[in-house]
Amino acid sequence: MAADSFVRQSSARQNRIQSFAFVIGASVCVLFCMGFAASSLLGLGQAYEICLDEKINPNDAPLGSLVRLPGIGIGKAGAIVAYRENFSEKNGSRPVFETVDDLQKVSGIGSKTVENISGWLKFE
């Protein structure tokens, strides 16, 4: 009889602990969701301005400078650097990119991207 009562009490205590843990977990999830929703709503409508001290020469700019160009992420910047290195190995000291349109030879860069970044580039 005493063992049966102990088992029921232990089971009831375990159920209360599990219920409490569930409520805490669900509350934390709701708070995180509300935080993410608020941060994304606050970010809507913000304009981002890119400020560069000077124009970038894609013939010698490092990856970090290329990434700062509008519409150029790490992948496209890496493709520009890889294309530049590959071209230089084959053609020596000749500039890889002589005009902004030469950037369209790089995989992933089209006319729209070239149009967006043309004001940020210089060719020397």
- CATH class for the domain made up of 63-120: mainly alpha
> Does the structure show a pLDDT above 90 at 104?
yes
Percent of the chain with pLDDT over 70: 82
- Residue-range domain boundaries for the chain: 1-46, 63-120
> Does the structure show a pLDDT above 70 at 83?
yes
What pLDDT does residue 15 have?
Answer: 85
> Does the structure show a pLDDT above 90 at 76?
yes
47 phi/psi in degrees, rounded to 5? -95, 140
> Does the structure show a pLDDT above 70 at 52?
no
Summary mean pLDDT of the chain: 82
